[in-house]
Chains A and B, each alone.
Chain A
Amino acid sequence: MATTTLAPRAGAAAYPGRRAWIYEWLTTTDHKKIGTMYVITAFGFFLMGGIFALLIRSELAIPGVQFVDPETYNQLFTIHGTTMIFLFVMPMWTGLSNYIVPLQVGAADMAFPRINALSFWMIPLGGLLLYSGYAVGGAADAGWTGYAPLSEQSGAGVDLWIAALVLLGFSSVLGAINFIGTIFKMRAPGMTLMRMPLFVWNSLVTSVLLLFSLPVLTAGLMMLFIDRNYGGGFFDPAQGGNPILWQHVFWFFGHPEVYVLILPAFGVVTEIIPVFSRKPLFGYKAFVFATTAIGALGFTVWAHHMFTTGAVYLPFFSFFTFLISVPTGIKFFNWLATMWGGKLKIDTPMLYAMGFIALFLIGGLDGAFLAVVPFDFHVQDTYWVVSHLHYVLVAGSVFAIFAALFYWFPKMTGRMLNERMGKVQWLLLFIGTNLAFFPQHILGLDGMIRRIVDYAPNPGWTELNFLSTIGAFLIGLSVIPFLWNVFVTLRLPRTASDDPWDGNTLEWATTSPPPPYNFDVLPPIRSERPLFDLKHGAVAAHGVALPAVAGTTHDETRADAPEEFLGEPIEGHADQADAGDVQPGVSEVAPDALPHAERAAGETTDVKPKPKPRAKK
């Protein structure tokens, strides 16, 4: 029994007159292919950005200016930051969401498939624009934040940086519209908002953040472009403008942006922890509340990046920054409570999720320190800030990205990544991350200023910087086992079952990889764990979720699942009176409810699922 019974016909994709595969990929509007291309492109940019990072750390290994001149160094950290944020983490999350969100809501594709393809193709173009700065006498060198007036003075690289960011921003806005459209209009019958998997919830909030914050950055970039090229005076005090205005506009985008980078990570971890703890998620509703609260608060705290400008009302922004730790704390509490007493399976995805929880906590606590105004004044623009943002982006986003890649790789390719290599990689990344970024806390407290090519040989600084460089190279090294792992695995036969982790959500109800149309049939959706309900029927049926199909209790349920789309009511549920009496016909078609390990034992021979008859024809 290698497959779940709902798996659609595998191998049905081959049809006569197929065009060359390269043409298929270039013109595809299939969310899975687009998602895959997003992931591969983003990973390519991750490697590029990583090389920039290693160059930076090599220069900083010992005091003095060794092999990059200051101008090159400025370009290095600018392009490193821009690449990692706009070309790696954002497209990586968009790609994974592209692949997973339609599957998790039981849809056949995104709401606007062609716009989806357009969004993707803007990403490589944006990258090309950004890097073409090197061809016109130097890439952008004003930092990824592009503060005026510095960004008004440097060379043509900044113009290309502006063009790249406008393009990438437009791509993200279109993507956000697509995700919101998909989530609101394409959900399977029975999947109410409060039954959506939390990864979908996080994608929704992320999309709303993008939709309302990115255009503000676009406006700022336009002003910067006009200042630079048409004699505008927005950020030029000599013409009556105000450089602080750039910081307002940039951070009004920039702070929601950091939640854009981390909310999908929360979503991934929230998907993985219950599956590998063999327990239901603790506090689903609290997670939904916390996610939306983080999204809403994200728009109220932009000026905490600007405490030292003297242009913002400190108590307000300090208070709201502290307030964000409340929903974040709820999430931490619920993750730990989900694991508490669970039967933990420490596979690589779980290992990454647990690493995320441990290390993101450090990054989050750094952030709480920075919310303290006097402390922020002390460490403004020091390596403390560098440490904080790398603990939330490397230990946060990157750990969760690897968790997601290991978790969904079998779904995307039909093959399981090697566990042992995954654990080696995790160990290297874990040690490397802490070695690279923890010493920077101390350097920051000591007052070492960031974004400068050289530093004084103060007591301890050389040693700490050298440690940090070793850590950076360990992070770089950790990518090698991953690439090798993927390379080797893709050459093996497709042996992964449809549901290798014994998952809860709908993406595991179809084949691995799914057919172009995703699902022949969907299980009834009566809770946020429809696949679990299907496999373990009676155990899962908590009373509140039950009336979904024949539904008279929840108005929302009926609105989302009109009678005509539900097929015949499920036998045993048709009678309202014994809605509480649960022995649904579901369990009858469920695969044997054995845990994954036992079921996996006898698989690998029969991977071709039986086509199931349609319920209504």
Chain B
Amino acid sequence: MTAHSQVVAAPHVEEDAHAGQPQGVNTALLGMLLFIGSELMFFAGLFGAYFNTRATALGLGQPWPPSGLEDVIEPTIIPVVATIILVASSFTMQWGVSRIRRGDRTGMNRALAITLLMGIVFLVMQAYDYLSLVTEHGFGINSGIYGSLFFTMTGFHGAHVFGGVVGIAVILLRGVSGQFSAQHHVAVEAVSAYWHFVDIVWIALFATLYFLK
């Protein structure tokens, strides 16, 4: 050791090749959490639009939902079952994460496959719901502000569910080929965080659009 104080740059740890400091949250997972933060603000913008429009209508003494559309959005069997499936899929996702944390690859793959299936079922049910809204009630994105809000908010949520389904499919394929272990599974953690976020947004959407109105 020489007298002068040279500090060697942090050696590369295999797990996170780019992170100089191994404490705290993994760098890739931090990136996903920050991305979720920005997504949260995207939906906050949409919710802001909803409540601004609602408050404006109520302030002017107009009914909300607008007259003629009071009974279109109701918690009927399809949206309720879809909600139950999506919420349950968050639990199966977390089950998969806890399996791989213990090194159980088969258990994780099983849980991911179930989660993937539930996500797809949710999307199919949403598509069916859209179809029946358009055909039975003639309620579409151009049916005034109410239709614009409903289809934009649920549509962007659906797009995010689709993104999550793609993510789950990717980690499932990687899981099947045995790329994850108890130490190396940051992708699973990241997709799981995203999936929980999508689920929570849906709970807020469901409460707002179907019950609070």
A177→B45 contact, CB < 8 A: no
B148→A613 contact, CB < 8 A: no
Assembled-state Cα–Cα distance A230/B6 (Å): 63
Q: How many residues of B contact A (CB 8 A)?
A: 50
Residues 25 to 58 of chain B near chain A (Cβ within 8 Å) = 27, 30-31, 34-35, 37-46, 48-49, 52-53, 56-57
> Which of A45-53, A93-101, A239-247, A442-450 participates in binding chain B?
A239-247
Assembled-state Cα–Cα distance A214/B40 (Å): 11
Assembled-state Cα–Cα distance A125/B88 (Å): 41
On whether A567 and B7 interact (CB within 8 A), knowing A230-B141, A241-B145, the answer reads: yes
Q: Mark A170-195, 1 if CB is under 8 A from B, else 0.
A: 00010011101100111111100000
Q: Please give me the residue from chain A that is nearest to B42 by CB atom.
A: A215
A521→B9 contact, CB < 8 A: yes
A568→B53 contact, CB < 8 A: no
A240→B146 contact, CB < 8 A: yes
Assembled-state Cα–Cα distance A543/B141 (Å): 66
Residues 43 to 80 of chain B near chain A (Cβ within 8 Å) = 43-46, 48-49, 52-53, 56-57, 62, 66
Q: Which residues of B contact A188 (CB under 8 A)?
A: 7, 9-10, 20
On whether A566 and B20 interact (CB within 8 A), knowing A111-B31, A219-B46, A239-B144, the answer reads: no
Q: Which residues of B contact A613 (CB under 8 A)?
A: 2
B9→A230 contact, CB < 8 A: no
CB-contact partner of B42 in A107, A181, A219, A562, under 8 A: A219
Q: Mark B1-21, 1 if CB is under 8 A from A, else 0.
A: 111111111110000001111
Q: Mark A580-617, 1 if CB is under 8 A from B, else 0.
A: 00001110110000000000000000000000111110
A232→B141 contact, CB < 8 A: yes
CB-contact partner of A585 in B3, B23, B44, B146, under 8 A: B3
CB-contact partner of A215 in B5, B39, B144, under 8 A: B39
A226 within 8 A of B: yes
Q: Which of A106, A177, A185, A214 has most chain B Cβ within 10 Å?
A: A185
B179 within 8 A of A: no
Assembled-state Cα–Cα distance A584/B5 (Å): 8
Q: Which residues of A contact B37 (CB under 8 A)?
A: 211-212
Q: Which residues of B contact A248 (CB under 8 A)?
A: 48, 52
A566→B21 contact, CB < 8 A: no
Assembled-state Cα–Cα distance A457/B39 (Å): 50
Assembled-state Cα–Cα distance A118/B43 (Å): 24
B20→A223 contact, CB < 8 A: no
B20→A187 contact, CB < 8 A: yes
Assembled-state Cα–Cα distance A586/B45 (Å): 53
Within the complex, the shortest CB–CB distance from A556 to chain B, in Å, comes to: 12
Q: Mark A351-368, 1 if CB is under 8 A from B, else 0.
A: 000000000000000000
Q: Mark A197-232, 1 if CB is under 8 A from B, else 0.
A: 000000000000001111111111011001100111
On whether A111 and B18 interact (CB within 8 A), knowing A211-B34, A567-B7, the answer reads: yes
A240→B144 contact, CB < 8 A: yes
A461 within 8 A of B: no
A233 within 8 A of B: yes
A186→B34 contact, CB < 8 A: no
On whether A186 and B18 interact (CB within 8 A), knowing A173-B38, A223-B152, A549-B5, the answer reads: yes
Q: Which residues of A contact B5 (CB under 8 A)?
A: 523-524, 549, 570-571, 573, 584-586, 615
A38 within 8 A of B: no
A473 within 8 A of B: no
A108 within 8 A of B: yes
On whether A190 and B7 interact (CB within 8 A), knowing A177-B38, A222-B152, the answer reads: yes
Q: Please give me the residue from chain A that is nearest to B53 by CB atom.
A: A242
Q: Which residues of A contact B2 (CB under 8 A)?
A: 613, 615
Q: Which residues of A contact B20 (CB under 8 A)?
A: 107, 185-189, 565
Q: Which residues of A contact B31 (CB under 8 A)?
A: 111-112, 115, 177-178, 181
CB-contact partner of B7 in A219, A566, A588, under 8 A: A566
Within the complex, the shortest CB–CB distance from B162 to chain A, in Å, comes to: 16
Within the complex, the shortest CB–CB distance from B176 to chain A, in Å, comes to: 25
Within the complex, the shortest CB–CB distance from A216 to chain B, in Å, comes to: 4
- Looking at chain A, what size class is its interface with the partner chain? 35 or more
Q: Which residues of B contact A180 (CB under 8 A)?
A: 30, 34
B6→A612 contact, CB < 8 A: yes
B142 within 8 A of A: yes
Assembled-state Cα–Cα distance A108/B9 (Å): 9
Within the complex, the shortest CB–CB distance from A573 to chain B, in Å, comes to: 8
A215→B41 contact, CB < 8 A: yes
Within the complex, the shortest CB–CB distance from B123 to chain A, in Å, comes to: 20
Residues 232 to 261 of chain A near chain B (Cβ within 8 Å) = 232-234, 236, 239-242, 245, 248-249, 252
CB-contact partner of B145 in A109, A178, A186, A234, under 8 A: A234
Q: Which residues of B contact A426 (CB under 8 A)?
A: none
Assembled-state Cα–Cα distance A223/B2 (Å): 64
B49→A185 contact, CB < 8 A: no
Q: Which residues of B contact A6 (CB under 8 A)?
A: 6
On whether A615 and B8 interact (CB within 8 A), knowing A188-B20, A240-B144, A560-B21, the answer reads: yes
A241→B6 contact, CB < 8 A: no
Residues 502 to 532 of chain A near chain B (Cβ within 8 Å) = 519-524
Q: Mark A82-114, 1 if CB is under 8 A from B, else 0.
A: 000000000000000000000000111101110
B41→A216 contact, CB < 8 A: yes
A184→B7 contact, CB < 8 A: no
A286 within 8 A of B: no
A559 within 8 A of B: yes
Residues 171 to 190 of chain B near chain A (Cβ within 8 Å) = none
B4→A568 contact, CB < 8 A: no
A185→B146 contact, CB < 8 A: no
Q: Which residues of A contact B66 (CB under 8 A)?
A: 240
B53→A245 contact, CB < 8 A: yes
Q: Please give me the residue from chain A that is nearest to B52 by CB atom.
A: A245
B91 within 8 A of A: no
B128 within 8 A of A: no
On whether A186 and B19 interact (CB within 8 A), knowing A612-B6, A613-B2, the answer reads: yes
A232→B142 contact, CB < 8 A: yes
Q: Which residues of A contact B48 (CB under 8 A)?
A: 216, 219, 248-249, 252
Within the complex, the shortest CB–CB distance from A314 to chain B, in Å, comes to: 18
Assembled-state Cα–Cα distance A567/B1 (Å): 9
Q: Please give me the residue from chain B that is nearest to A590 by CB atom.
A: B4
Q: Which residues of B contact A614 (CB under 8 A)?
A: 6, 8
On whether A249 and B21 interact (CB within 8 A), knowing A521-B8, A585-B5, the answer reads: no
Q: Which residues of A contact B19 (CB under 8 A)?
A: 111, 185-186
Assembled-state Cα–Cα distance A242/B62 (Å): 14
On whether A111 and B1 interact (CB within 8 A), knowing A212-B37, A227-B148, the answer reads: no
B148→A233 contact, CB < 8 A: yes
CB-contact partner of A242 in B6, B8, B52, under 8 A: B52
Assembled-state Cα–Cα distance A180/B10 (Å): 19
Assembled-state Cα–Cα distance A202/B48 (Å): 29
Within the complex, the shortest CB–CB distance from A457 to chain B, in Å, comes to: 43
Within the complex, the shortest CB–CB distance from B124 to chain A, in Å, comes to: 23
Closest A-B pairs by Cβ, 3 of them: A219-B45, A231-B142, A215-B42
Beyond known contacts A181-B30, A585-B3: 9 more, CB 8 A cutoff: A178-B31, A186-B19, A219-B44, A232-B152, A252-B45, A519-B9, A571-B3, A585-B4, A586-B5
Binding site for B on A (CB under 8 A): 6, 106-109, 111-113, 115, 173, 176-178, 180-181, 184-190, 211-220, 222-223, 226-227, 230-234, 236, 239-242, 245, 248-249, 252, 519-524, 549, 559-560, 562, 565-568, 570-571, 573, 584-586, 588-589, 612-616
